[in-house]
Structure 1
Amino acid sequence: MTAHRRGQRRGAPPGGKRITAVRAYRARLAETLLTPAERAERAAKALVALTEWNGYAPTAAEERDLDSELDRRLARASGQ
């Protein structure tokens, strides 16, 4: 019986190697996630860059409105 017939994809590693690959993927993914402090730092840098580039300077009320809109869209996209 071929590997394909047993329900495995062609070229797929045997079970143990597949688990190792998933663990490696999860480790790489975890490395790409930012902490809240890192996200805040990037946001501040982006705001400075936008302000220098085109004068973008939202008021506190505009920022709240944008945050609310983003939250609404994320909730909609995630099915909530």
Structure 2
Amino acid sequence: MKLFMRFLPLLLVVAGLLNYIYMAKGIGLTLVLLSLGVIVGIFNLMKKQYIVVALISIVIIIGSVALFYYLVNAGV
């Protein structure tokens, strides 16, 4: 159970990205999964537990949003 709680933010982020890649119509669920990943990551940062996994999750989400924003503005 501890291992699951440790990697929960990262699992939510990966699930959100896979949902976005394979089910383009499910953008609402993607946003929910990514938001939950950020919330759990920030909660872990505030508790000072699993800091590396929380930071990796947040960085992946920020990078993904920046990439999608760039691609939309580029017209791809």
Instruction: Tell me if TM exceeds 0.5.
Output: no
Higher RCO by CA contacts (8 Å cutoff, separation 6 or greater)? 2
